[in-house]
Structure formats: C-alpha cells, structure tokens
Amino acid sequence: MTVRNARVLGTGMFAPERVVPNSWFDEQLGENVSDWLVENLTIRERRWCGADESTADLSEKAARAALERAGVSAEELDLIILATDTPEYVSPATSTVVQHRIGAKNAGCFDLNAACSGFVAALDTGAKMIRADERMNKVLVIGAYAMSKYLDLEDKKTVTLFADGAGAVVLGLSEEEGNGWLGSRLHAEGQYNEWMGIYAGGTRQPLDAEVLANKDHKLKFVRKFPKEINPTTWERLIREVVTGAGAGAAASGTGSDIADISMIFFTQININSIRETMDALSLPMERTHTIMDRFGYTGSACIPMALADADAKGRLKRGDLVVFMGSGGGLAFACTAFRW
C-alpha cells in the first residue's frame, strides 16, 4: 500500500527594506536600550514595513521566493494556508489576497491564527491535508507578520522587540517511506490569554475614539510571563514528538532519539529560552539557527524565515531530522518534526 506523506519542496522569505537599528530607539526613547538588546536578545536591528507595505505584500514576496526555489508554479498549488495575527483585513482572509496576486487559481485557501505558534500549526495542518486527501498534492504554507503597524512607539517593552517579515514553505507529496512529516503536538495554556495581545478591534472591544485615545488597539504586555514556561514546555513537546509520542509518529514507528535531531527552529523572542532548551536536550547551539540579530522578533514569520535562511546557506541536507517549535500569545504551542 502506497503511503502518502508531505515533504518540504522549497522555502522562501522576505523582509521589508526599511532597516531600524537599535540606535534609533536610543534616540526615540531617550535612553540607551541598545546594550540590553544585544546582550540579552542578540538583536542589533530589525525590519519594519513602509507606510505602503502590508502583510499581504510580505506574504506575496515570500510565497514567490518559495515557489521559485521549489520549482513549482502557482497554478500547481492545491491549497494556501497563511498564518498570521496581523492580517490584511479583519475579513476577508489574507490568503485570498495572496492567492489572487500570485495567480494560484486552482488553490483553496484559509488563514490560521494561533499567534506566534501559527506557522508551525499551519505547517502541521498542511502536511496532514496532503496525507489525508489524495486531491491535495502541493500546499503553500506562509507565516507573515507586520506587527510594526500595532506598536506604540513610546512603549519600551514592545517597540524595541517586534518587527516585520514573512516566510513560506511549499509542501509536496512524498511516497518515500520515512520521508517528510513524522509527528506533532499542539498544546495550549489558555489561562494566559489576557497577558499579552492586541485587545481592541474585534467584537469584544470595537474601535472607537476612547479605544484609540487609550491605545488599546496597540500591542500590549499586560503581565510578565513566567520565564520558565517556554523552555520547559518546548523541551517536553520536542521530546514527545521526536521520541514517538507525537500524533502519528508512534503508529508509524518513526520515533527517534533526541541526539538524532539535526536542526531545531524555535520561536525567537528570547535567545536565553532557546539556550536553556538546547542545554536541557543536551544539544549544541550549532543545531539551531537564529536570525533575530538581523531581523528582530517576527512572530509567526520567524520560524519560516529562519528555515529559509538556513536552507539558502546549505545548513540542511537530505535525511536530516528537523524540528519546528513555536509558541505565542494565548498561550499556544505547536511542535512538528520532518525528515528533510
């Protein structure tokens, strides 16, 4: 019996041209924040959209880059999944804008919002669509972020961290045993849903003059998250997925040892959380890839952007065990593993 699975055919990324160095914030905030950003987060600069750029623009360009690298035409796509919590509109879906622009006339599409874990959840969803539906053979998965549009320039806790960009992956059908998607785990800690987010502009708090005056439509850190929650949850989910407890892995006998991991791509809001997790897994930092020093924190785009950067630099080879570990507001977590 032929086994349907999904493998990565190509990757791509795009970041706006506007570079915002740390020194800009030193002047904007009237204090030295550069040293702290470099020492604690490794961030030296980030990219922000221009006034005429939006999430759909970033997504389109990342999509085109991934399609080119995969050698796939837009008309070959069966589905587009776009992960973002900074959409083009409240409605309709941003993926429909991208579908039209790139000419993917045969593709269905939908958006997925799981905050900064969204790309990994979308990647997992796309892989399972290919596995489950014989009409789905090529799926474009995009993670996009234009959070600069929602930043309060006077809020030191947010304005120095968040940035804009998009990354994309083309998934295709694989019938090779043990190749492609291996397993996944999704997890949530919903009790933290009011701790960080953009809390106005939806049905709970529609935009009005009072909301705008109070900047409730801007991104806010309401409470400080327990610093251990990401490292401990990341480690647990990675172990579950890689050793075979992830959905599908145990049943297919594809469980592996942690030491077999070739590369892990993490949500990149805190370099120390990545270091702690790699230490807990007894893996060297050489087995992860970060781009936050150049691009800041790009939310649902950071993992596919890091993947595309590593791919372009030849850091991935056929047969590698590659893990994607995302987390974001809500709190939402998503982990999935692929054999490259």
Say whether both 101 and 231 belong to one domain: no
CA distances (Å), origin 218, targets 104, 120, 146, 245 = 33, 25, 12, 39
CA distances (Å), origin 317, targets 172, 261, 286, 320, 321 = 17, 12, 15, 6, 9
Q: Which domain holds residue 66?
A: 5-174
How far the first Cα of the chain sits from its last, in Å, is 22
Say whether both 79 and 111 belong to one domain: yes
Say whether both 201 and 291 belong to one domain: yes
pLDDT at residue 204, rounded to an integer:
82
CB 141 within 8 A of CB 81: yes
pLDDT at residue 244, rounded to an integer:
80
Burial of 294 (C-beta count, 10 Å sphere; 0-12/13-18/19+):
middle
Res 304 pLDDT > 90: yes
Q: Among 157, 174, 191, which residue terminates a domain? A: 174
Say whether both 190 and 116 belong to one domain: no
By three-state DSSP, how is residue 48 classified? strand
pLDDT at residue 105, rounded to an integer:
97
Question: Count of alpha carbons within 13 Å of 304, Cβ hemisphere only?
Answer: 42
The span from the CA of 84 to the CA of 241, in Å, is 24
By three-state DSSP, how is residue 122 classified? helix
Burial of 210 (C-beta count, 10 Å sphere; 0-12/13-18/19+):
exposed
pLDDT at residue 179, rounded to an integer:
87
**Rounded mean pLDDT of 295-301?**
96
In this prediction, residue 248 has a pLDDT band, given cuts at 50, 70 and 90, of very low
Please state, rounded to an integer, the average pLDDT across all residues of the chain.
Answer: 92
The span from the CA of 254 to the CA of 232, in Å, is 24
List all residues 6 or more positions away from 11 whose beta carbon is below 8 Å from its beta carbon: 66, 69, 167, 168, 169, 170, 304, 307, 308, 311, 312
Say whether both 26 and 163 belong to one domain: yes
The structure tokens listed for 4 are 């349907």
Res 245 pLDDT > 70: no
Cα angle for residues 138, 142, 147 (degrees, 5° grid): 170
Say whether both 136 and 163 belong to one domain: yes
Comparison of pLDDT for 232 and 193, the residue scoring more = 232
List all residues 6 or more positions away from 202 whose beta carbon is below 8 Å from its beta carbon: 90
What is the percentage of the chain residues whose pLDDT exceeds 90? 79
Say whether both 157 and 301 belong to one domain: no
The span from the CA of 139 to the CA of 125, in Å, is 10
Say whether both 320 and 257 belong to one domain: yes
| Domain containing residue 121: CATH number | 3.40.47.10
**Rounded mean pLDDT of 111-131?**
97
Say whether both 131 and 188 belong to one domain: no
**Rounded mean pLDDT of 161-181?**
93
The span from the CA of 262 to the CA of 339, in Å, is 10
Res 253 pLDDT > 90: no
Distance from chain centroid for Cα 136: 22
Q: Among 114, 145, 174, which residue terminates a domain? A: 174
Q: Among 136, 156, 174, which residue terminates a domain? A: 174
Question: Which DSSP state fits 70?
Answer: H
Is the peptide bond prior to 331 cis by the omega test (within 30 degrees of 0)? Answer: yes
Dihedral (CA of 280, 286, 289, 290) sign? positive
Comparison of pLDDT for 225 and 271, the residue scoring more = 271
Say whether both 213 and 198 belong to one domain: yes
Question: Which DSSP state fits 223?
Answer: S
Query: How many residues are given for the chain?
Result: 340
The span from the CA of 279 to the CA of 100, in Å, is 45
Q: pLDDT tens digit string along 55-72? A: 999 999 999 999 999 999
Structural domain count of the chain: 2
Say whether both 225 and 97 belong to one domain: no
**Rounded mean pLDDT of 207-221?**
83
Comparison of pLDDT for 195 and 132, the residue scoring more = 132
Say whether both 188 and 306 belong to one domain: yes
pLDDT at residue 251, rounded to an integer:
42
Comparison of pLDDT for 40 and 146, the residue scoring more = 146
Q: pLDDT tens digit string along 60-106? A: 999 999 999 999 999 999 999 999 999 999 999 999 999 999 999 99
pLDDT at residue 212, rounded to an integer:
84
**Rounded mean pLDDT of 188-196?**
88
Single-letter amino acid, residue 122: A
**pTM for the whole structure:** 0.93
